[in-house]
Amino acid sequence: MKFRYILFLCVIAVCCYWVILPVHSSETEAKITDFLVTSTEDSVLVFAKVTDCFTTDMEKAIFAGIPTTFTFFIHLYQERSYWWDKKLAAIEISQTIKYNRVRQTFYVFSADGKFTAFHDFARAKTAVTELNGVALSSLRCLKKGEGYYVMIKAGLKKEKLPWHLEYLFPFVSLWNFETKWHRQPFVY
């Protein structure tokens, strides 16, 4: 009888831990800020930044050498009255931050395989969470005087740890986030 009582208390404690933990882990919600759509002579450019996305557990894991990938989803639509809006372009941009403990250097990898090295964690965090002038579409696809809008959201990919290490780092599953979609209208 005593064994059942202790087992019951352990089950209740574990359930409370899993219910309360997500409340404390999401104290601040990640969001898109400084969202700007502009153009050059031939392209539509997008600038954006993700803020409030790093938790202390995530920072500890990055310092332990676990790679973290931020993904930006960007869509360009043409507004049409009395009809569904037409999607003109959609791109997905991934940027990964990884720490090399031996060299004490942070590497930020882009989707095309290029990387930039940083010795300062704050600068590496800024580099992985910002988009600076990403070409979304050619201006030849747009018509003058028409209404368009760009939708953007960002997310953090769940990294699969090798050799079942997710049991040792249970907080990795709490990293997953996606911001809300943000819309920026413009007229070409």
Q: Over the chain, what is the mean pLDDT?
A: 82
* 74 phi-psi bin (left φ>0, alpha ψ -120 to 50, beta other): beta
96, 68 Cβ separation under 8 angstroms = yes
pLDDT at 180 over 80: yes
For 69-108, the pLDDT digits (tens) are 999 999 999 999 889 999 999 999 999 999 999 999 999 9
Please report which helix (H) or strand (E) contains residue 183, including its range: strand 182-187
- So what's the pLDDT on residue 19? 47
Q: What is the pLDDT of residues 28-81, one digit of tens each?
A: 688 999 999 999 999 999 999 999 888 888 888 899 888 889 999 999 999 998
